[in-house]
Amino acid sequence: MSKDEKKIVLAKASLFEGESQGDYKAPNIVQCILSLFRNIQPGADLIRFQLPTTFNLPKSQLQSFGESVYCTNKDLLSICNNCESPLERLTGVVAWCISTTRPIIFGLSPYNPILGETHHVSTGSLNVLLEQVFHHPPVFALHATNEKENIELIWCQQPVAKFCGTSVEAQTHGKRQLKLHKYKETYEMNSPKLLVRILPVPRTDWVGNVKIKCHEGGLEAELCFRGGSLLGRRGRAIKGKIYESLSIQTLYEIDGHWDRTVSVKDMQNGERKVIFDAKEVLYGLKTPVVMDSQAVWATESAAVWGDVSQGILNQEWEKARVAKKGVEEEQRRVLRERESVGETWVPKHFNVTKSGEMGWDCSPIQEIVPPAPIVVPP
């Protein structure tokens, strides 16, 4: 490989317990606690906190967010789009929303994306593009389009993490939109919180309430993600309902576990049906592959962090540390140059505006996301 050639490294998608973790694994938990939290005060903002490379996943946070859209064994979005009634479409959207919840390995975290970093991947007829549109605070935008099914996704979100003494809470502010243009329907939803418990038993859980609303269909859904007990008993439960917006009449009750199965109960006839099966949708996910390295942008996550990821996968920690420091120092150099000439950085793929204290709105500059040179194998 020539000196100027990009090293493009793509790591495996998030995996469940019992699946092979590939070439990396979580560090010793005691070391993790001592290394990360010895000097952090409760309530501290962890956004600018830099992890040593031994505790990094070999991927950027942009890739982690992107995986929740393009890494799946079942095309749930197309299934939503082919349901006949508004109720069945919202039920399908609920199943898809649950599928974006992925397992988190305690003690490992992705890299904080640099400003302007992108991640561009295609799976089937769905093309997905993410861009880091702000650095402080960190905000990313996502645009995905499926021209065949006439489906569009637009996200603009800000992850915020805080240390709470015996746990870390990470909340993703902003909204997610799913547009089924065939029906002229837009589904808006928020995200659950990630709770990382350190004591008494180290574990990670998705917790909190998610609301999905479709104004055009006059229906809403509420999901409550519940973690395990303090003693470490298995959680990952989901409770919720689908109801009419005006009458508040419950049509379906939702119950299950996002890492197993989730069912709905029809309140009219008592019938139950499974709407989501994690083993069917999320187990054994395939890693994206580079189809055309020359077409990969220099801002692509897998290229920006390629040397760092390769060092982590090879367990060459010093090489990974030096490479990570190089990425961060280059970002600071570019920022100084920009500030010296009074230049304001502008996102390349999105128009972004702040909405409220913790809200962000974005609109894609291009209507359609083009096919990517990185593809998820069929």
52-96 pLDDT, tens per residue?
Answer: 787 889 999 999 999 999 999 999 999 999 999 999 999 999 999
Place of tokens 């493009």: 8
Helix axes 306-313, 317-340, angle to 10 degrees: 160
Burial of 346: CB neighbours in 10 Å, binned 0-12, 13-18, 19+: exposed
pLDDT band at 361 (very low <50, low <70, confident <90, very high): confident
- CA 111-15-202 angle, to 5 degrees, is 75
CA-CA distance, 49 to 187, in Å (whole number)?
Answer: 34
Picking from 29-33, 84-88, 154-158, 251-255, which range would have the lowest pLDDT averaged per residue? 29-33
Q: Would you state the pLDDT for residue 32?
A: 53
Q: Are 258 and 225 in contact (CB under 8 A)?
A: yes
* One-letter amino acid of 204: T
Average pLDDT, the chain: 88
Q: List the beta bridge partners of residue 354.
A: 360
* One-letter amino acid of 331: Q
For residue 166, the number of C-alpha atoms closer than 13 Å in the C-beta half-sphere is 5
With a cut of 80, say whether residue 3 has pLDDT above it: no
With CA atoms as reference, report the closest residue to 73 among 147, 119, 143, 16: 16
Residues ≥6 apart with Cβ < 8 Å to 367: 145
Report which DSSP code applies to 312. H
Torsion-angle region of 141 (φ positive above 0: left; ψ -120 to 50: alpha; else: beta): beta
Q: Are 262 and 282 in contact (CB under 8 A)?
A: no
Q: How many CB atoms lie within 10 A of CB 193?
A: 19
What does pTM read for this prediction?
Answer: 0.91
The DSSP H or E segment spanning 158 is strand 151-163
**Higher pLDDT pick, 222 / 358:** 222
Q: List the beta bridge partners of residue 252.
A: 242, 266
Kindly state the average pLDDT of the residues 5-11: 85
CA-CA distance, 278 to 267, in Å (whole number)?
Answer: 24
Q: Would you state the pLDDT for residue 294?
A: 94
With a cut of 80, say whether residue 4 has pLDDT above it: no
Q: How many CB atoms lie within 10 A of CB 318?
A: 9
Q: Would you state the pLDDT for residue 301?
A: 97
